Structure 1
Amino acid sequence: MNPDPAPPVALVVDDEPVTRLMVKRALEKLGCAPVLDAPDGIAAQKILRERPDVALVLTDIMMPRMDGLELLRWGREAVPDAMWIVLSGLETFDSAVTAIRLGAFDFLPKSPHSEEMAVAVRNALERRHLLAERERLHGELQRKVRQLEETSEVLRRDLERAEVIQRALLPRSPPPMEGYCIQAVYRPGQHVGGDLYDVVRLGERHLAFYLADATGHGVTSAMLSVLFKQRLVLVDPATGIALPPAEVLAAVNRSICEAHAAPGLFLTAVFGLLDTGESSLTLASAGHPPVLHAREGRPTRLIRRTGPALGLAQDAQFGEERMQLLAGDRILLYTDGLLPSGSERELDLLQQVLERPLASAQEVMTDLHRQAPADADRDDVTILLIDAHAGASWFDNGAETPASDARGALRAGDEVVFYGETDHAAYVGLRGRATWMHCDAFHETALTVLDGGRRLVLDLSGCEYLDSTCLGTVHELVARGGVSLAGVAPAVRGLFEELSMQQVLDAIRDDLPAAPEMHPLGTASDHAAPQERILRAHEALSALSERNREEFKDVVESLRSEQGGPA
């Protein structure tokens, strides 16, 4: 009858000695040991305080000093694991019902038959055992949940670290390319993804670029893309001459096949070699979505795969497509996350977006995502757009984008740094409240324009505020020469005046034409770069006046100390 490993301790509470003795002996026969007894509620309280291991209490209701109902109210709080059975006469039947409502398990008539008591006691002890087992299982479940939460947190941190490492494999800034500009947008579907791209200058006239997409999602696909990058050879080791794209893909395919034999793991990739001297482009595609070649006045050309995906067959052969690039031509590479279904309709839409004048990679992604179903599974998305004309190049690797929203950086109203150009100048704009988080993208884009010998206009027509890092960065750019400011609001002009930024004030122009159509730039940067940018900007401001030197002294000294330089 008793499921407990040790005999249950019982307590009988009754002011009638004969009843108390009879119930006590019955309980002993049922396996309870020891069976304690008390003549009233006060005495029972003392026993229960000393013996919290009491499993079963049988109590009368009508007793002197403290009755059974009062004892029950106290006992349900003091000894919550005990089971209570009320002994009730006819005159106290209503009180027995009240006792059940207060938490008693059962009630028995005074002087109960042995069979009735046996059933009630057995059921009460089994109920106690079930409650204890439920509590144990609940505790075990909570412990398991805590373990899973801790494991999940460890995995989450590991995935975030993996994302940081993976982003380190992506190019941070484009190489210089006279007569060409290149834009890239990268968005992982999860913390880490299988997309990878790079643009590399090879010698004086060649530019190599690739875009790879490993099958699947998450860590497995990320590791496969890392293997691809590790095994990629771009130049002949003996001569240093750039290898043809078909040879590059064939070699990396053999290496990947030798490195792993797991079924279902493969990559698609497209590799290009741009000869800036001949204005020619050679492409090889390993099972990758079509590359688009847009030229004004003619239909967009699709360059489809020239061989199978990488990692499927060691002896796979790859062909090449060679084309001439004319001024204004555009080449678009993308991963299949951009076109969820890969349908001809989506390809048509992509061609329409690409053929629009000045459509940036960000604009291409935004327009196509706007067409995608809201509940579509998110895949990694990478776009590489090469324009055969002079202009600023930039890479947006999405470092500021939350993992839970891979499209977040593209939402209207969130962008701060913008770019546009005319035949006479390039425009870099700041919108809203510009802070140190946006300075790397702002500074690098502006430097690319200036290094290319083009006139730069800083458009501040939509700028409400610049923090000290942005102000110092503006001063650095103006000090280089070739920079004008347009659309400066009175509040921003007041900041320039307050910090004695006379060169910047002198560069403000009110006679410039309206800014062209502007497109948002990402604010991606690594962790170390913002600190260096903040330091340089504040050093620039500190040199302008004694007041500035005192105001920014602590910031400059702190940043110099962190970077190991002289304070």
Structure 2
Amino acid sequence: MNTHSPQSILLVQQADAVHFELVASLEKLGLSVLAITECSLAMQGFREEDIDIVMVDIDFPEDRGIDLLGKMAADPRELPLIGVSRRKSLADVVEAVRHGATDYLMLPPENLDVIRHVIDRAVERGALKRENLAYRTQLENANRDLLESLTLLQQDQQAGKHVQQLLLPDTPKRIGAYSFCHFILPSLYLSGDFIDYFIVGEDHAVFFVADVSGHGASSAFVTVFLKNLFARKRSDFLHRDSTAILSPAKMLDIANRELLEMGIGKHVTMCVAAIDLQCHQLRYSVAGHLPAPAMAIDGSAEFLPEHDMPVGLFADAEYSDHVTTFPPGAVLTLFSDGILEVLDNDTLEDKEHALLDILNTGERMSTGLAKTFGLYDLDDAPDDIAILVVCRS
């Protein structure tokens, strides 16, 4: 027997000549034998004695040996159990194994090698059973820990989603002669798309759409940064005579520098715009944002020209302001690139034409566009999707 073989064995067997022969054989194998001949005393010895392996006679009347196997198999020590019997019956073997026996020994054994082989095999199977049990317990603990972590993460994300929604402006909202409304569909709990619009002083409205690279908490963090940045520059306009907030190009330049300084490996495509509420002039700048903003005038929609680099990629990126008029009844619509994922067209050009065809209908509500694109019916959005609609009365 190998060095991992048991040192002591509990033998529960009816007292007869075969019993005493088996005790002698076990002792010849170097085992310390605790022999119990009454089933009623077996469990006490099983619990109290220091034993490594158990043999149980299943020939006890009224299935007491079988019942004993079942009780011992439930013990947390998971000791190897060997059923022994004088009856050479396959049904007995199956019954013993079904009640927890690790192996089975027919009596009388042919020689010591047979006993040694059965014991070694029972020990190996018992060890494997304990390893499997330990692995299962470890896996169950890991799954429980994972579930707890996922639950905590979900709670954190739900809280983050609530905070992010609080940062969004009211929809719809009216500023002077202009109405603003938005729709955002996150692909996860937290969105990397963000929209904001607000009045600056008495004569200007500023708005932007941002699409942060990636998804989840890190991308959502950048949207909070952008919200804070524009709030700071709005405050600077009111209290420090700074006009940066009225120049989309300057705002993109500031965002680019500050995002690079943060060193978080995120970049953003953006469209920033300011409307002069008195002369109805639209000043805008596009930082790598697709699709481009689309202006619909008298039922004919066209993309606004001119694009610069995304924010947060290059320190030497330059941004420029572009100016156009915002006629009465005109509708300016901005999307994040997630909208392109829900269009069936093959090429980007075809998708852009499809967008313009839809915008030619003159839809003035973001929720209406969301219905047109089937966004309310999406179970799993392929990407964050944002829609901003700005209309002049």
Structure 1 residue 301: Cα displacement: 1.6
**1:254 aligned residue (257, 270, 274):** 257
**Distance of aligned partners of 1:376 and 1:58 in 2 relative to their CA distance in 1, 3 Å threshold:** closer
Give the corresponding residue for 1:486.
none
Give the corresponding residue for 1:266.
267
Greater relative contact order (CA < 8 Å, ≥ 6 in sequence): 2
Structure 1 residue 357: Cα displacement: 3.8
TM-score, structure 2 normalization? 0.85
Give the corresponding residue for 1:283.
284
Aligned to 2:214, the other structure's residue is in SS state coil
Aligned to 1:339, the other structure's residue is in SS state helix
Structure 1 residue 348: Cα displacement: 2.0
Give the corresponding residue for 1:365.
370
Gaps of 5+ in 1: 390-567
**2:392 aligned residue (383, 388, 393):** 388
Structure 1 residue 10: Cα displacement: 2.3
CA RMSD in angstroms comes to: 2.8
Gaps of 5+ in 2: none
**2:115 aligned residue (114, 117, 124):** 117
Give the corresponding residue for 1:152.
150
Give the corresponding residue for 1:322.
323
Aligned to 1:76, the other structure's residue is in SS state helix
Cα distance in 2 between the residues matched to 1:354 and 1:200: 24
Cα distance in 2 between the residues matched to 1:268 and 1:175: 24
**1:292 aligned residue (287, 291, 294):** 294
Structure 1 residue 72: Cα displacement: 1.7
Question: 1:7 touches 1:32 (CA, 8 Å); kept in 2?
Answer: yes
- Listed one character per residue, the Cα deviations across residues 309-353 of structure 1 (whole Å, up to 9, x for unaligned) are 000112211122211121111100111112217722222222222
Cα distance in 1 between the residues matched to 2:200 and 2:114: 95
Structure 1 residue 7: Cα displacement: 3.1
The answer to whether 1:30 aligns with 2:36 is no
Cα distance in 1 between the residues matched to 2:109 and 2:2: 23
**2:349 aligned residue (332, 344, 347):** 344
Give the corresponding residue for 1:379.
383
Q: What letter matches 1:330 in structure 2?
A: V
- Listed one character per residue, the Cα deviations across residues 212-243 of structure 1 (whole Å, up to 9, x for unaligned) are 11001101111122223333434556424453
Give the corresponding residue for 1:451.
none
Is 348-357 or 46-55 further displaced after alignment? 46-55
Aligned to 1:338, the other structure's residue is in SS state helix
- Listed one character per residue, the Cα deviations across residues 13-38 of structure 1 (whole Å, up to 9, x for unaligned) are 1321x4333322332343543x2113
Give the corresponding residue for 1:223.
221
Cα distance in 1 between the residues matched to 2:229 and 2:54: 73
Aligned to 2:340, the other structure's residue is in SS state coil
Q: Share of identical aligned residues, percent?
A: 22
Structure 1 residue 378: Cα displacement: 2.4
Q: What letter matches 1:7 in structure 2?
A: Q
Cα distance in 2 between the residues matched to 1:275 and 1:119: 94
Question: 2:206 touches 2:275 (CA, 8 Å); kept in 1?
Answer: yes
Give the corresponding residue for 2:206.
208
Structure 1 residue 97: Cα displacement: 3.7
Aligned to 1:328, the other structure's residue is in SS state coil
Question: 1:266 touches 1:312 (CA, 8 Å); kept in 2?
Answer: yes
How many corresponding residue pairs? 376
Give the corresponding residue for 2:11.
11
Question: 1:45 touches 1:71 (CA, 8 Å); kept in 2?
Answer: no
Cα distance in 2 between the residues matched to 1:302 and 1:144: 53
Give the corresponding residue for 2:160.
162
**Distance of aligned partners of 1:385 and 1:113 in 2 relative to their CA distance in 1, 3 Å threshold:** same
Cα distance in 2 between the residues matched to 1:31 and 1:136: 30
Structure 1 residue 376: Cα displacement: 7.1
